[in-house]
Amino acid sequence: MIVLAIEKLTLGYQKDPLFNQFSHAFTLGCHIIQGGNGVGKSTLLSAVSGSLPYKGRILVNGHELSENGVAARRSLGFVPDSTEFYPFVTGRQFAEFVFRAHKCGLAANQPRYEELIDRFNIRKYLNYSFSQMSLGTRKKFFIFTAMLLQPLLLVMDEPFNGLDDAASKELIELFDEYSRRSTILLTCHQPAIVECIKGIRWTLEEAPHAALTASQS
Amino acid sequence: MPNRPSRSTVTPLGLALRYCGTEVRQRVARYKQLILIGLLLLLPGVGEFNQLILYPLSTVFGQLEGLIGAWAAAAFVGVAMLWAGLHRDAIAYPPAAGLLASLPISRQALLARDLLVLALVSLPLLILLGVALVVSQPLGIVHKVLVLLTLLLATATAQLAVIRKAVIWGAVAIVSAVIAGRIHRADILPIMVLANLLALWKMPGHVLGKTGDYRQARFITGFRRDAISWTELHWRSIYQSAHGGYRLCLVLTLSLTALAVTLCRITDKPMHELGVLLAHGALMSGLYGLSFPTALSNQATYRAFLTSLPTRRFRRMVDMVVAVEFPAMLLGLGASCFASQWQIAALALFVTALLCCIQYLTYQRLPRHAVVIGLATAIIIIVLVLNIALFTGVF
């Protein structure tokens, strides 16, 4: 099953595009995008999450992202590299806000709510505002909410940045579990962690990219 | 020769003054149209200004020993406190407050910095006080100097009390100002001066919020709800914005609404009523529209995540317009209730809603010229609507 299909994507600077006629199809499972600094990993993830304009087609669960954005985004959960958010919003409110935007009812009513809270150890921070949280805790709330949504496509830009060991282990286990029914697209710079994740590793070589190179399974 | 950092930026005072200067410049640049309109509106009312403000304030320095002087002194200190509250961002850059608190800066240096910055931002009030002193009735020079000194120290104490959240010392300042305004005795005034000096010396240092940003820390305790919508997100970000958002406009917009209602009640011509209500709507949408840059810039800051959410662009636009302009619509509705015909009220409300949407579009498309374009568009629409109404003879 192809959850994310990228067709003839052109992206980046006008004279010097990072992606030129780039095409790729992502099936169910965990896909780790690797590559050096500045090769365009985050740019690719930003385009897939709908925050960068592009030329070409990005199909999420069959819906073109720029033409049918709302339907495409209903199948998408995104964790950006920067976990800044409105400073007055509490962790609980953040989850409820995202669920409200997805029209998925209340986050607190989801069957895995309690379990995921405990796995990420964020119960005591539920009523803390973003301005009061550490980088790692903010990241945990982004990941927790995306995981709770259980979307078909999970896009995570450097999800392990700032996470403690326990949370990193939980996340790796969750990837294993979610990859059976979702497509997880992530970037990660920590080799030790990448080694632990079961998934397909793709490498972005020198820009401009036209395709991904499978590096190791 | 190696480059050396300017001395003005390496001391806490220099840093604060530079930051304060930038803040004041930004505010003047941001509100220049409003300041101009305010000054123009004040021009015909110079007589009333004398009667309402300058005369009572001058009695503080006069021979009259009465309640007017006491009230005027208390009001002056009270206004100065509110003024300091509005400008507390200028005292210290909130995100740097934590770092500044960790530096080994002496208590005296901090006091000097705060007092100088407060004096700088309070310059218009101090000039007013100086004018009141000049036009006041003759009184012994020693008395005048003592009263002036007491009032200045009381103002500084009260303002510092607001900044440092020291309520007791603020109360001491107001009481001393009242006494200085009521009793002009040479044996009492020095005691008041001493009381204020003591208050300044004894006042505790800056109170840091839990996050280093007092605005956020103060706000967190105010609202606790699990659900949060797009509208609420914008509303709350505007409410706690650095320059006040709704709070900054409230007094002005309420006064303008009261004026519009009064004009509606005293005129017996429907066309006049319509004109007043349309102008009121335009002013309200324009004033509250000043918060669009805050909402739009916040949205841009968190764009990467927000754009990944499945919410239609139109819905987001409507949510933002509602969040920014709802006070304008509420005040428009309030003023329209006093219209003699429901058709006038409905038309005025419709035009106000239209102007609110235009405000959003101008701030989104042409943010640098949004105020001017918004005003020009409002004038054109009002003239157009009035001409159509006049031509068709509806009212």
Q: What is the pLDDT along chain A (217 residues), one digit of tens a residue?
A: 889 999 999 887 767 788 888 999 999 999 999 888 888 888 899 889 888 888 899 999 999 988 888 888 989 999 988 888 888 888 998 898 888 888 888 888 999 999 999 999 999 999 998 888 999 999 999 999 999 999 999 999 999 999 999 999 999 999 999 999 999 999 988 888 888 889 899 988 887 888 888 775 5
pLDDT of residue B220: 40
| Residues in chain A within 8 Å Cβ distance of B302 | 84-86
pLDDT of residue A29: 92
- Alpha-carbon radius of gyration of chain A: 17
Tokens of B324: 């920014």
Name the residue range of residue A54's domain: 2-216
Using pLDDT thresholds of 50, 70 and 90, give the confidence band for residue B392. Answer: confident
| Residues in chain B within 8 Å Cβ distance of A76 | 308, 310
Q: Are the Cβ atoms of B225 and A93 closer than 8 angstroms?
A: yes
| Residue A120: exposure state from Cβ atoms within 10 A (0-12, 13-18, ≥19) | buried
| Residues in chain B within 8 Å Cβ distance of A135 | none
| Residues in chain A within 8 Å Cβ distance of B219 | 88
Rounded to 5°, the CA angle B234-A83-A55 comes to: 85
Lowest-pLDDT choice from B17-21, B252-256, B329-333 = B17-21
Sign of the Cα torsion B192, B193, B194, B198 reads: positive
Lowest-pLDDT choice from A169-173, B69-73, B82-86 = B82-86
Q: Are the Cβ atoms of B216 and A129 closer than 8 angstroms?
A: yes
Lowest-pLDDT choice from A25-29, B29-33, B221-225 = B221-225
Lowest-pLDDT choice from A205-209, B166-170, B218-222 = B218-222
Instruction: Compare all CA atoms of chain B with the CA of A86 and give the residue at the minimum distance.
Output: B237
pTM for the full predicted model: 0.60
Average pLDDT, chain B: 79
Contacts 24+ apart (CB under 8 A), B237-241: B237/A86, B237/A88, B237/B294, B237/B295, B237/B298, B238/B291, B238/B294, B238/B295, B238/B323, B238/B324, B240/A88, B240/B215, B240/B216, B241/B291, B241/B294
Q: Are strands A183-187 and A153-157 parallel, antiparallel or unpaired?
A: parallel
Residue B11 reports pLDDT greater than 60: no
Place of tokens 């044996």: B187
B296, containing H or E segment:
helix B292-301
- Among candidate residues B324, B320, B337, B258, the one with its CA nearest the CA of residue B287: B324
Q: DSSP letters along B330-385, please?
A: HHHHHHHTT-SSHHHHHHHHHHHHHHHHHHHHHHHH-GGGHHHHHHHHHHHHHHHH
- Among candidate residues B33, B127, B25, B40, the one with its CA nearest the CA of residue B76: B127
The answer to whether A73 faces chain B, any CB pair under 8 Å, is yes
Percentage of residues of chain B with pLDDT beyond 70? 74
Percentage of residues of chain B with pLDDT beyond 90? 15
| Residues in chain A within 8 Å Cβ distance of B304 | 46, 49, 51, 80, 82
pLDDT of residue B3: 43
Instruction: Compare all CA atoms of chain B with the CA of A69 and give the residue at the minimum distance.
Output: B310
Lowest-pLDDT choice from A6-15, B136-145, B297-306, B317-326 = B136-145
Instruction: Compare all CA atoms of chain A with the CA of B237 and give the residue at the minimum distance.
Output: A86
Q: DSSP letters along B212-250, please?
A: S-HHHHHHHTT---S---HHHHHHHHHHT-TT-THHHHH
A72, containing H or E segment:
helix A69-74
Q: How far apart are CA A71 and CA A76, in angstroms?
A: 9
Q: Are strands A29-34 and A17-27 parallel, antiparallel or unpaired?
A: unpaired
Helix ranges (H only) for A75-202 are 91-101, 113-120, 135-149, 165-178, 191-196
Q: How far apart are CA A153 and CA A99, in angstroms?
A: 16
Per the document, the length of chain A is 217
Q: Please, are residues A150 and A178 in contact by the beta-carbon 8 Å criterion?
A: yes
Helix B342-365 and helix B270-289, axial crossing angle in degrees, nearest 10: 30
Instruction: Compare all CA atoms of chain A with the CA of B219 and give the residue at the minimum distance.
Output: A88
Which residue has better confidence, B271 or B103? Answer: B271
Residue B32 reports pLDDT greater than 70: no
Lowest-pLDDT choice from A85-89, B14-18, B70-74, B135-139 = B14-18
pLDDT of residue B227: 66
Q: How far apart are CA B143 and CA B149, in angstroms?
A: 10
Q: Are strands A200-203 and A29-34 parallel, antiparallel or unpaired?
A: parallel
Q: Which of residues 175-234 of B touch A (CB under 8 A)?
A: 210-211, 213, 216, 219-220, 223-230, 233
| Residues in chain B within 8 Å Cβ distance of A100 | 227-229
The residues near A162 (Cβ < 8 Å, ≥ 6 apart) are A83, A134, A135, A136, A138, A139
Tokens of B170: 């603020």
Q: ipTM score of the complex?
A: 0.70
Using CB atoms, pick whichever of A71, A85, A88 lies closest to residue B305: A85
pLDDT of residue B238: 83
pLDDT of residue B360: 93
- Domain CATH for A103: 3.40.50.300
Closest chain B C-alpha to A35 CA, distance in angstroms: 21
Which residue has better confidence, B300 or B26? Answer: B300
Using CB atoms, pick whichever of B227, B237, B240 lies closest to residue A100: B227
Number of C-beta neighbours around residue B315 at 10 A: 12
pLDDT of residue B244: 56
- Among candidate residues A93, A171, A167, the one with its CA nearest the CA of residue A132: A93
The answer to whether A138 faces chain B, any CB pair under 8 Å, is no
Residue B65 reports pLDDT greater than 70: no
Q: Please, are residues A204 and A212 in contact by the beta-carbon 8 Å criterion?
A: yes
Q: Please, are residues B220 and A132 in contact by the beta-carbon 8 Å criterion?
A: yes
Q: Tell me if residue A121 falls in helix, strand or coil.
A: coil
B254, containing H or E segment:
helix B246-266
Place of tokens 């407060």: B118
Domains of chain B by residue range:
8-202, 229-392
